[in-house]
């Protein structure tokens, strides 16, 4: 079962890059053509990269690692928050604080302070402060939650991998992850330098629908990895419950049922998938990218 289909990519505008004047030459291998001074991304490479990223994230989470979602641009914020919450992973959706990874002790201390303030408020201790003091502490809680609230799930350990939307906007996060040797999976548009990224997913990183589609697939990979980890525990209960189903996509539910029944036929490694695709690669590229041409002509 494909992680994402060519039709989904076309419908959400994943194939639209930036104007040709704004491109980065190192993205040339990921560009299929140009149309009306806009670069068109090679969606066959996007599909392949999504398969690789999905398998990598699933494996990482199955081994106990955390995925940190990063996307602070306006178009990404809501999706990053929602999808990270859906799969129970940490996120940064508003502002990346310098040192979030490289100075984690300080950030962790601020998280501890936030929890102390919240505990004090919930215990009714703010009632013993003056109105001004209580207001200041309430504002401090709000400020800390906005900046650090998404990192609560990361308190016990640094992330094993980052998923980043727009590596230019998140240059500091990328640099910190590179410095610590943390792998990065990212949506990389045609105006970006792909060198710092471990798994490059060539994609439009500005369109809300494109960001939503790609990010949701990464969250699905996390959920599948968690299910695999749970299934590996002896005498574990069901790997997902009826309550969980409302957070899972149809594709992920099918995959989880395959895991639960021991049927791994629909869950292939990137290597196996590559072998199966190799014989039809040229034909698929021509026919499927032909759809891009048709899409552009219809929209012209």
> Hey, which residues does 19 pair with through a beta bridge?
38
Distance CA(141)–CA(30), nearest Å, equals 44
Tell me what pLDDT residue 2 has. Answer: 80
Q: Does the pLDDT at position 239 exceed 60? A: no
Distance CA(69)–CA(149), nearest Å, equals 13
Report the range of poorest mean pLDDT among 111-120, 162-171, 225-234: 225-234
Confidence label for 232 from pLDDT (cuts 50, 70 and 90): confident
Write down the pTM of the prediction.
Answer: 0.79
pLDDT tens for each residue of 160-177? 999 999 999 999 999 999
Structure tokens at 281: 């690669």
- Mean model confidence pLDDT for the chain: 85
Tell me what pLDDT residue 213 has. Answer: 97
pLDDT tens for each residue of 199-209? 999 999 999 99
CA 43 remoteness from chain centre: 18
Q: Does the pLDDT at position 118 exceed 60? A: yes
Does domain 6-93+159-232 fall under CATH 3.40.50.10490? My reply is yes
pLDDT tens for each residue of 129-144? 888 998 999 999 998 8
Rg of the chain over all Cα atoms, to the nearest angstrom: 21
254 closest CA partner among 8, 19, 1: 1
Sign (positive or negative) of CA dihedral 286, 290, 291, 296: positive
The mean per-residue pLDDT over the stretch 215-227 comes to: 96
Distance CA(54)–CA(67), nearest Å, equals 12
Strand runs (DSSP E) across the chain, as ranges? 16-19, 31-35, 38-41, 67-70, 91-92, 161-165, 184-188, 199-202
- Sorted by sequence, the CB contacts under 8 Å of residue 174 that are 6+ apart come out as 162, 164, 167, 184, 186, 196, 197
Does domain 102-157 fall under CATH 1.10.287.610? My reply is yes
């Amino acid at each position: 079962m494909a992680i994402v289909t060519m039709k989904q990519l076309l419908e959400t505008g994943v194939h639209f890059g930036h104007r040709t004047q704004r491109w980065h030459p190192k993205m040339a291998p990921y560009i299929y053509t140009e149309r009306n001074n806009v670069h068109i991304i090679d969606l066959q490479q996007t599909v392949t990269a999504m398969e690789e990223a999905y398998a990598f994230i699933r494996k990482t989470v199955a081994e106990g690692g955390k995925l940190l979602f990063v996307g602070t641009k306006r178009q990404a914020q809501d999706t990053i928050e929602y999808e990270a919450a859906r799969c129970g992973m940490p996120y940064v959706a508003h502002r990346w604080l310098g040192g979030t990874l490289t100075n984690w002790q300080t950030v962790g201390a601020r998280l501890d302070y936030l929890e102390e303030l919240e505990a004090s408020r919930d215990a009714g201790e703010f009632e013993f402060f003056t109105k001004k003091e209580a207001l200041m502490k309430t504002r401090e809680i709000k400020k800390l939650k906005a900046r650090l609230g998404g990192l609560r799930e990361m308190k016990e350990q640094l992330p094993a991998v980052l998923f980043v939307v727009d590596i230019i906007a998140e240059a500091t996060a990328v640099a910190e992850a590179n410095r610590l040797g943390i792998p990065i999976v990212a949506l990389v548009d045609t105006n970006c330098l792909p060198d710092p990224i471990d798994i490059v997913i060539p994609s439009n990183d500005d369109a809300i629908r494109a960001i939503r589609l790609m990010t949701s697939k990464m969250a699905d990979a996390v959920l599948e990895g968690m299910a695999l980890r749970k299934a590996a525990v002896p005498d574990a209960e069901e790997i997902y419950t009826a309550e969980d189903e409302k957070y899972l996509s149809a594709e992920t539910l099918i995959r989880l049922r395959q895991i639960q029944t021991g049927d791994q036929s629909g869950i292939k490694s990137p290597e196996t998938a590559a072998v199966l695709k190799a014989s039809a690669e040229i034909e698929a590229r021509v026919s499927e990218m032909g759809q891009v041409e048709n899409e552009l002509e219809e929209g012209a």
